[in-house]
């Protein structure tokens, strides 16, 4: 079988090269985002929008998503689509539950990673060695993994103290660190409620207070992936397998080996994401991942198959997740933020000459703005849909800026280029 049907939209190819923004522009853009956030915070009276508590919760929610996204990126950069992330995460949560309650959280993390890697290896065997369609293999893993996890959980947790048929006994949380002086100073500034200054202080405080070591590990892994994939010969070879495997083969790269490595690593990252989820919530539960593997996939696409981007995507989705937990005023303010973001997209698209897209984005932006002003609250049930809606909007309205690896999803046989 070959990869899915490709329909070429009539969009112009992205103009590459000329859009290299200088570092100063990035700082400016971040400052602008923060300014808008503070303005909305003051305007809507939603303190939770920028409070340190929200940022802490967002960080905790974002870490499993970022790991799933990183997992997706590793596989897809080597040309293998990994829909099975969700299943591999489930394996990770079970592994963490199994080892975590017996030998501590870090053993849980290691076990989650190992079980995830086994899931990845399975995907690699099916897709690389046997050339099975990537989507199908992923769906099969998503069917298999929850069954396996539930079977094992019944077996090992039913009689364990504090465990049940569908949940593990408690796992201790990983250590948390706080930067002592800085956290207090920032806290004092945050409490003043000054425009912008307090907002920035609140967000920074969230980043330096009670940060789990797991979060630190996740950040290191993302940074490590940047170095490994973009600054070493190993990374160049791995990415070449996703762009042009035949060319890579002609230069002596063992494409199968790199694909196997990438997909197994992908499973390991997904398992790690699952383990983080289980450890930070204190136990393994059946159905705990609840689609986070798919949100991770969405974060990866949002981040244009790049580590920095996927970290931003995961933070954004983690932020909406945290918002949903923290009361309706903040959630309601999100509508306004989404409206503003869409109007910005509309302006950007207009400047690059995409009139239809621009007007669609503008229309949707106005619609969200109207929704904000004509209502008092967003129904709690709809908040969870935000990451998925945002991803669809990004894909629909800004997809000419996205560039997936070229050979993604296509079957590859050794020697097919001869």
Q: Would you count residue 382 as binding another protein (CB under 8 A)?
A: yes
Minimum CB separation of residue 287 from another protein in Å reads: 11
Q: Would you count residue 391 as binding another protein (CB under 8 A)?
A: yes
Q: Would you count residue 131 as binding another protein (CB under 8 A)?
A: yes
Matching residue, tokens 């390991």:
268
- Which of residues 155 and 177 has its CB atom nearest to another protein in the complex? 155
Q: Would you count residue 389 as binding another protein (CB under 8 A)?
A: yes
Tell me the chain's radius of gyration from C-alpha atoms.
22
Matching residue, tokens 């939603």:
46
Q: What share of the chain is helix, strand, coil (3-state, %, to 5)?
A: 70, 0, 25
CA angle 16, 18, 19 (to 5 degrees): 85
Q: Would you count residue 197 as binding another protein (CB under 8 A)?
A: no
Q: Would you count residue 160 as binding another protein (CB under 8 A)?
A: no
Q: Would you count residue 7 as binding another protein (CB under 8 A)?
A: yes
Q: Would you count residue 392 as binding another protein (CB under 8 A)?
A: yes
- 267, 263, 246: which is closest to 87 by C-alpha? 267
Q: Would you count residue 11 as binding another protein (CB under 8 A)?
A: yes
Helices (H), 158-244: 180-191, 197-208, 213-230, 233-243
Minimum CB separation of residue 118 from another protein in Å reads: 13
- Which of residues 136 and 223 has its CB atom nearest to another protein in the complex? 136
- 4, 14, 45, 224: which one contacts another protein (CB under 8 A)? 4
- 148, 28, 172, 131: which is closest to 94 by C-alpha? 148
Q: Would you count residue 142 as binding another protein (CB under 8 A)?
A: yes
- 187, 235, 362, 384: which one contacts another protein (CB under 8 A)? 384
Cβ pair 64, 276 in contact under 8 A: yes
- 37, 90, 141, 201: which one contacts another protein (CB under 8 A)? 141
Quote the CA–CA distance of 125 and 66 in Å, as a whole number: 25
Other Cβ atoms closer than 10 A to 229: 20
- DSSP lists the bridge partners of residue 211 as 177
Q: Would you count residue 14 as binding another protein (CB under 8 A)?
A: no
Cβ pair 83, 308 in contact under 8 A: no
- 42, 61, 40, 43: which is closest to 324 by C-alpha? 61
Q: Would you count residue 396 as binding another protein (CB under 8 A)?
A: yes
Q: Would you count residue 367 as binding another protein (CB under 8 A)?
A: no
Minimum CB separation of residue 278 from another protein in Å reads: 18
Quote the CA–CA distance of 384 and 298 in Å, as a whole number: 14
Quote the CA–CA distance of 377 and 277 in Å, as a whole number: 29
Q: Which stretch binds another protein (CB under 8 A): 184-192, 233-241, 277-285, 383-391?
A: 383-391
Scanning residues 99 to 128, which ones bind another protein (CB under 8 A)?
122, 126
- Tokens for 34? 């923060």
Minimum CB separation of residue 16 from another protein in Å reads: 18
Q: Would you count residue 377 as binding another protein (CB under 8 A)?
A: no
Q: Would you count residue 379 as binding another protein (CB under 8 A)?
A: yes
Minimum CB separation of residue 396 from another protein in Å reads: 5
Residue count, binding to another protein (CB under 8 A): 53
Q: Would you count residue 236 as binding another protein (CB under 8 A)?
A: no
- Which of residues 106 and 305 has its CB atom nearest to another protein in the complex? 305
- Tokens for 182? 């800085």
Q: Can you say whether residue 131 is alpha, beta or left, with left for phi > 0 and alpha for psi between -120 and 50 degrees?
A: left
Cβ pair 1, 388 in contact under 8 A: no
Q: Would you count residue 325 as binding another protein (CB under 8 A)?
A: no
Scanning residues 274 to 303, which ones bind another protein (CB under 8 A)?
291, 294-295, 297-298, 301
Minimum CB separation of residue 10 from another protein in Å reads: 9
- Tokens for 370? 């109207």
Q: List interacting residues with another protein (CB under 8 A).
A: 1-9, 11, 81, 83, 122, 126, 130-133, 135-137, 139-148, 150-151, 154-155, 291, 294-295, 297-298, 301, 379, 381-382, 384-385, 388-389, 391-392, 395-396, 399
């Amino acid at each position: 079988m070959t990869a899915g049907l490709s329909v070429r939209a009539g969009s112009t190819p992205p103009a590459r090269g000329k859009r290299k923004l200088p570092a100063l522009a990035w700082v400016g853009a971040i400052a602008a985002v923060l300014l808008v956030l503070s303005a909305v915070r003051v305007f809507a009276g939603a303190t939770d929008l920028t409070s340190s508590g929200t940022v802490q919760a967002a960080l905790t929610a974002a870490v499993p998503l970022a790991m799933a996204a990183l997992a997706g990126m590793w596989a897809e950069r080597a040309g293998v689509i990994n829909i099975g992330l969700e299943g591999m995460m489930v394996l990770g949560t079970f592994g963490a539950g199994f080892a975590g309650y017996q030998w501590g959280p870090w053993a849980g993390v290691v076990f989650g990673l190992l079980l995830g890697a086994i899931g990845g290896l399975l995907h690699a065997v099916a897709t690389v060695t046997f050339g099975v369609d990537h989507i199908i293999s992923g769906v099969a893993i998503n069917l298999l993994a929850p069954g396996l996890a539930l079977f094992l959980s019944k077996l090992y947790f039913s009689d364990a103290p504090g465990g049940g048929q569908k949940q593990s006994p408690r796992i201790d949380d990983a250590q948390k660190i706080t930067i002592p002086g800085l956290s207090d100073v920032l806290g004092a500034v945050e409490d003043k409620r000054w425009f912008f200054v307090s907002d920035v202080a609140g967000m920074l405080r969230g980043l330096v207070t009670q940060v789990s070591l797991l979060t630190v590990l996740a950040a290191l892994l993302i940074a490590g992936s940047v170095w490994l994939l973009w600054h070493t010969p190993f990374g160049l070879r791995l990415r070449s397998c996703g762009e042009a495997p035949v060319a890579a083969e002609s230069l002596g790269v063992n494409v199968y080996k790199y694909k196997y490595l990438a997909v197994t690593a992908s499973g390991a990252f997904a398992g790690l994401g699952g383990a983080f989820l289980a450890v930070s919530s204190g136990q393994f539960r059946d159905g705990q991942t609840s689609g986070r593997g798919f949100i991770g996939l969405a974060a990866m696409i949002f981040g244009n198959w790049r580590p920095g981007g996927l970290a931003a995507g995961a933070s954004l989705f983690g932020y909406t997740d945290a918002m949903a937990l923290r009361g309706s005023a903040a959630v309601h303010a999100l509508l306004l933020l989404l409206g503003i973001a869409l109007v910005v997209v509309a302006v950007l698209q207009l400047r690059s000459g995409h009139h239809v897209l621009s007007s669609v984005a503008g229309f949707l932006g106005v619609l969200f703005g109207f929704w904000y002003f004509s209502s008092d609250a967003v129904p709690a049930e709809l908040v969870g849909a935000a990451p998925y809606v945002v991803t669809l909007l990004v894909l629909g309205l800004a997809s000419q800026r996205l560039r997936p690896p070229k050979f993604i999803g296509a079957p590859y046989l050794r020697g097919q280029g001869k």
